[in-house]
Amino acid sequence: MPLVPGRVCGGCTVCCSELHIEAAELKKLAGVRCPNLDGGGLCAIYATRPGTCRDFECGWKLTATLSDAWRPDRSGIVLIPKTKGNPPGFQEGTGVQIVLLRREALGFPELPGAVAAWVRTRVPLFLTLKAPVGLLAASAFLNTLVEGAVRRQDRAALIQVLEEMVEGLSRRKLEPATFGSAPR
């Protein structure tokens, strides 16, 4: 998928601190700052960074319809392209994992409109609430739970369902994160 022209990370290092990385050259848990980030928030090994890092682009850098407010360090939301594991009836390679870095990110004003637009176009969505370091984050398939509110164009109902989902995710028993266990 091509990058949005002119859209750069700038001072955002969310992918370097909040994502689980498991590569031969680098292993780090979600929520742990990458040891290769220097004091200025730049990658000290950028030219030779692991392929996992080199190949990753967040959804904000890939989606032209998202405003600059969606940059993960600003919105508190990181969008991760989901290339496999979609439910039956949804095309592989088209999903989006919406990771809330903090519960308050649910109040990001552009989130309900984006969720509605993606659901209308059958983009499979997975809502994930960041977990404490050392635990796997809880995630849930979103589309079937919000499609009624989206169909009725009921923003308040959509927000209510999202709030209920976050509450449910926050109550789930989380499993320990280990290397060799893919985040869910």
pLDDT tens profile 49-76: 999 999 999 999 999 999 999 999 999 9
Q: How is the chain split into domains, by residue range?
A: 57-171
Query: Which of these, 19, 9, 20, lies nearest to 42 by C-alpha position?
Result: 9
Q: What is the pLDDT of residue 182?
A: 55
pLDDT tens profile 23-54: 888 999 999 999 999 988 899 999 999 999 99
Average pLDDT of span 92-100? 93
DSSP 77-99: EEEEEE-S-PPTTS-TT-EEEEE
Average pLDDT of span 134-157? 97
- Order the strands of the 138-141 sheet from edge to edge: 77-82, 95-100, 125-129, 138-141
What is the token pair recorded at 152? Answer: 């009725």
Q: Report yes or no on whether pTM surpasses 0.75.
A: yes
* Per-chain mean pLDDT for the chain: 94
Contacts of 118 (CB under 8 A, 6+ apart): 96, 125
How many CB atoms sit inside 10 A of residue 4's CB?
15
pLDDT band at 135 (very low <50, low <70, confident <90, very high): very high
